[in-house]
A and B are shown apart, each in its own frame.
Chain A
Amino acid sequence: DTEVTQTPKHLVMGMTNKKSLKCEQHMGHRAMYWYKQKAKKPPELMFVYSYEKLSINESVPSRFSPECPNSSLLNLHLHALQPEDSALYLCASSQDLSGAYNEQFFGPGTRLTVL
């Protein structure tokens, strides 16, 4: 099973709301990623967790707060977002960050619209 699931599929929120995106994998992977993708652009890396610890933060604004409660789950907490944060948010996982064998598997994404 190479499935990564994400909920919700769609999310509409106001600029004062607090919401969370969820990601889950049961492949035993120990690295998990959040990407942001704007229309007709490639994914942009936001955060990487390795063995439940934050490994990479690509200078993402603090209104995005990641959390990795266990090896199967990854959350992205959203607060006080801006309309320009509207995008497709993708979660991915890989075996670990060991390098050559690091095949990433992506979830279907959450389409976020900020009003």
Chain B
Amino acid sequence: KQEVTQIPAALSVPEGENLVLNCSFTDSAIYNLQWFRQDPGKGLTSLLLIQSSQREQTSGRLNASLDKSSGRSTLYIAASQPGDSATYLCAVGGGYNTNAGKSTFGDGTTLTVKP
């Protein structure tokens, strides 16, 4: 059974700092990994999708990497802003050992960026 862990559970940084969020998973036979942000009481916003054959994806100040062999992904946020404050979730897309429709989510990292 796939297990996804996100460390740290919470992170508080001053504005302007670069930061890294971590996601680890136990079964490397995955189709993809997706990073989301969620504001309190809202839906999930897709940030980046990394396909299993890719090593990284970039969107603006965000860069996500994937190392399937070690079961790890990182989300790098450059020059953090107060508007980046949210909960960040990684979701591992169902792979060869499970159903393609099933994503396994981590518990998330709650980020606070202080002005």
B36 engages A106 (CB within 8 Å): yes
- Known contacts A42-B107, A43-B105: A102-B100 contact under CB 8 Å: yes
Q: Chain B residues near A100 (CB, 8 Å)?
A: 31-32, 51-53, 93
**Docked complex Cα distance between A106 and B43 (Å):** 6
Q: Find residues 1-29 in chain A having any chain B CB closer than 8 Å to their own CB.
A: 2, 4, 6
**Docked complex Cα distance between A106 and B103 (Å):** 13
Q: Find residues 40-97 in chain B having any chain A CB closer than 8 Å to their own CB.
A: 41-46, 49, 51-53, 89, 91, 93, 95
**Shortest CB–CB separation between residue A56 and chain B, in angstroms?**
5
Residues of A within 8 A of B (CB): 2, 4, 6, 31, 33, 41-43, 45, 48, 50, 55-56, 88, 90, 92, 97-109, 111
Contact of A50 among B49, B101, B106 (CB under 8 A): B101
In the A-B complex, the 10 residue pairs with the smallest Cβ-Cβ separation, listed nearest first, are A42-B105, A99-B31, A48-B101, A106-B44, A100-B51, A106-B43, A103-B49, A108-B43, A97-B100, A97-B101
- Known contacts A41-B107, A88-B41, A111-B41: A104-B100 contact under CB 8 Å: no
A102 engages B36 (CB within 8 Å): no
Q: Chain A residues near B34 (CB, 8 Å)?
A: 103-104
A102 engages B31 (CB within 8 Å): yes
Is B114 on the interface with A (CB-CB < 8 A)? no
Q: Which residue of A lies closest to B54 (CB)?
A: A100
Q: Chain A residues near B49 (CB, 8 Å)?
A: 103
Contact of A56 among B43, B44, B101 (CB under 8 A): B101
**Shortest CB–CB separation between residue A31 and chain B, in angstroms?**
7
**Shortest CB–CB separation between residue A35 and chain B, in angstroms?**
9
B108 engages A42 (CB within 8 Å): yes
Q: Which of A4, A105, A111 has the most CB of B within 10 A?
A: A105
